[in-house]
Amino acid sequence: MIQLYNVSKIYDNGVKALNDVSLHIRKGEFIFLVGPSGAGKSSLTKLICREELPSRGQVVINGRSLARMKNREVPYLRRKIGMVFQDFRLIANKTVFENVAFALEITGASNKDIKRAVPPVLRMVGLEKKARMIPAQLSGGEQQRTCVARAIVNNPVLILADEPTGNLDPETSWDLMKLFLDINRRGTTIIMATHAWDIVDAMKKRVVALGDGIITRDEESGAYGYES
Amino acid sequence: MNLNVLKYYFREAGTSMLRNSWLSVASIGTIIISLLILGSSILLVLNVGYIASTVESSLEITVFLEDGVEQDRMERMEEEIRFIPGVTAISFVSRDQALDELRRSFGERADILSGLDEDNPLPNAFRVKTREAEMVPAAAQQLGELSGVEQVRYGQGVVEKLLALTHWVRIWGSITMGVLGFAAIFLIATTIRMSVFARRREIGIMKMLGATNFFVRMPFMLEGMTLGLTGGLVAALIINFGYLSLLSKVMITLPFIQLISDPALIYQVLGGLLGLGFAIGALGSAISLHRFLRV
């Protein structure tokens, strides 16, 4: 579903983030991206959602080259990718329901569609009772689950998570991982960049390790590794 | 586009305007002032042109006759005037006709002139037209030398002075309007820039969720357009009521001055102001979005 062919990324300030990386990701996979800070994990996720374009090489999603994609097509690509962040990125003055509904609102969905689609998603992440609260009234775990609900409400084919457990305590982190597994079982591909070695080791999923802009290790049901 | 999205655009634009209320008021104010200047300049120029066309034409000379000139002398004078070079038309205005005309120009307040019927102070006169304006002074001099003529009068530049005035009104009106219009566009652009700045985090989230550029920009465009339209509307209303009250005052105190009172023309001017306010708002926000919101 996602292919990277000899991808390099050099930023305008001269920083070489990725160097000749090739990677194939199949539909329905659950992949951990690991490696030290500055290894290129974030650059890789930014290339996949076309926040950045590769300096060399090709990124192909569902048979489409992102470099050839026109700017006005990018929003429709992003609607197929649900993004989850360490800092949640919720809108502070909107309720949980409104934050999740916002992902539908920007696609021009009708009120009827929104009222039909949001409650099941909130139930799935266990927030149906907190739908009317604003993010400041929620715990970190609840905020992250709101973010996940917003990421999946559009039925994405891919979840891109950038250190989603970075601000969560261990127990809450595990709740989130159970939620991700649940989503993954329904067929959604998940790519998760993380430093949480205990989670990576316990989940036994595919692990892609990055170091200095190259892939140092790519193992099915791998472990975090201790070289970093 | 469904109702939900429209509601979203308007709600966001409204929230933004309230958040930057002082800047919104300043930009609306600037638009109002520049459009007021434009509107009054246009009405002034139009009216001066209108008055100039109704005042006696610059090609016309009025020859007032002495009292007591005999009828056959007047007929001979008419023949003599025809032979003066450049004269193309001549008409006789009797003192009674002159009084009638004066009375008509006073309209409803013609009662001022009652009592003049028994003792009409106005003289008999000839109205003489020349082929070109340059011939007027020479012809006027020859007319003055005829016997039985008391006084010769012609436009003496009144019309030219009026037109020169409109010339300056046009130039200075355009310059002031240009400067203020520029300031208005700049202020709108600043307002929109502040709105974009206040919502940059939300814009980032919208882009991440897959909002189109159109969707991200629309509330800001709408904000600028609303500010422009509000300014245009207020300016148009002020001009409308100001001009109407001017019209009624002039009609009472200076009845012999004819101002433009054709509603179609006035509404055209007002509509123009409204449209221009809208355009200023749209242009200002477009400039700002182009520079500060490269989505």
User: Inter-chain contact B5–A75, Cβ cutoff 8 Å?
Assistant: no
| pLDDT confidence of residue B122 | 83
| Same domain, yes or no: B237 and B98 | no
CA distance B12 to A71: 25
pLDDT above 60: residue A193: yes
Query: B220-244: per-residue pLDDT in tens?
Result: 999 999 999 999 999 999 999 999 9
| pLDDT confidence of residue A227 | 53
CATH of the domain at B110: 3.30.70.3040
pLDDT above 90: residue A114: yes
Query: B240-266: per-residue pLDDT in tens?
Result: 999 999 988 888 887 767 788 888 888
The pTM (predicted TM-score) of the whole model is 0.71
**Closest in A72, A102, A108 to B209, CB measured:** A102
User: Inter-chain contact B209–A111, Cβ cutoff 8 Å?
Assistant: no
A154 or B146, higher pLDDT = A154
Whole domain around residue B79: which residue ranges?
Answer: 60-154
| pLDDT confidence of residue A100 | 95
Contacts of A109 in chain B (CB under 8 A): 4
| Same domain, yes or no: B167 and B49 | yes
Does any CB of chain A come closer than 8 Å to the CB of residue B19?
Answer: no
User: Inter-chain contact B202–A91, Cβ cutoff 8 Å?
Assistant: yes
Look up residue A137 and give its amino acid: Q
Strands A64-65 and A56-61: antiparallel
First CA to last CA across chain A, in angstroms? Answer: 29
pLDDT above 80: residue B185: yes
User: pLDDT band at residue A118, thresholds of 50, 70 and 90?
Assistant: very high
| pLDDT confidence of residue B160 | 66
| Residues in Cβ contact with A204 at an 8 Å cutoff, skipping those fewer than 6 apart | A221, A222
Distances (CA, A) of B228 to B33, B35, B277: 12, 11, 5
| Same domain, yes or no: B11 and B120 | no
| pLDDT confidence of residue A90 | 94
pLDDT above 50: residue A228: no
User: Inter-chain contact A72–B204, Cβ cutoff 8 Å?
Assistant: no
Give the number of residues written for chain A: 228
| Same domain, yes or no: B47 and B87 | no
Domain count, chain B: 2
CA distance B77 to B91: 12
**Closest in B4, B201, B210 to A75, CB measured:** B210
User: pLDDT band at residue B133, thresholds of 50, 70 and 90?
Assistant: low
CA distance A50 to A26: 19
Query: A155-192: per-residue pLDDT in tens?
Result: 999 999 999 998 888 888 998 999 999 999 999 999 99
C-beta separation of B189 from B27 below 8 A: no
| pLDDT confidence of residue A44 | 92
| pLDDT confidence of residue B226 | 92
User: How far apart are the CA of B26 and the nearest CA of chain A, in angstroms?
Assistant: 27
- Which of A2, A42, A45 minimizes the C-alpha distance to A22? A2
Query: A123-133: per-residue pLDDT in tens?
Result: 999 999 999 99
| Same domain, yes or no: B169 and B148 | no
Share of chain A above pLDDT 70, in %: 99
Size of interface A-B (CB pairs under 8 A): 55
Contacts of B207 in chain A (CB under 8 A): 75, 78
Q: In the listed set B105, B135, B154, which residue is the last one of a domain according to the structure?
A: B154
| pLDDT confidence of residue B192 | 87
Strands A206-211 and A30-34: parallel
User: How far apart are the CA of A143 and the nearest CA of chain B, in angstroms?
Assistant: 15
Query: A19-64: per-residue pLDDT in tens?
Result: 999 999 999 999 999 988 888 898 999 999 998 999 999 999 988 8
**Closest in B208, B211, B215 to A83, CB measured:** B208
ipTM reported for the complex surpasses 0.85: yes
| Same domain, yes or no: B46 and B93 | no
User: How far apart are the CA of B206 and the nearest CA of chain A, in angstroms?
Assistant: 7
User: How far apart are the CA of A210 and the nearest CA of chain B, in angstroms?
Assistant: 24
Read off the tokens for A60: 């192909």
| Residues in Cβ contact with A103 at an 8 Å cutoff, skipping those fewer than 6 apart | A150, A151, A153, A154, B209, B210
**Closest in B2, B201, B206 to A106, CB measured:** B206
| Same domain, yes or no: B31 and B47 | yes
Share of chain A above pLDDT 90, in %: 68
**Closest in A81, A91, A111 to B205, CB measured:** A91
pLDDT above 60: residue B57: no
So what's the architecture of A30-42+74-219 in CATH? 3-Layer(aba) Sandwich (3.40)
User: Inter-chain contact A105–B4, Cβ cutoff 8 Å?
Assistant: yes
User: pLDDT band at residue B72, thresholds of 50, 70 and 90?
Assistant: confident
User: Inter-chain contact B205–A107, Cβ cutoff 8 Å?
Assistant: no
User: How far apart are the CA of B161 and the nearest CA of chain A, in angstroms?
Assistant: 60
The residue in chain A having the minimum alpha-carbon distance to the alpha carbon of residue B1 is: A108
User: Inter-chain contact B209–A106, Cβ cutoff 8 Å?
Assistant: yes
Probe site for chain A from B10, B209, B213, B294 (most A CB atoms < 10 A) = B209
Averaged pLDDT, B71-92: 84
Probe site for chain A from B208, B215, B293 (most A CB atoms < 10 A) = B208
| Same domain, yes or no: B191 and B216 | yes
C-beta separation of A175 from A124 below 8 A: no
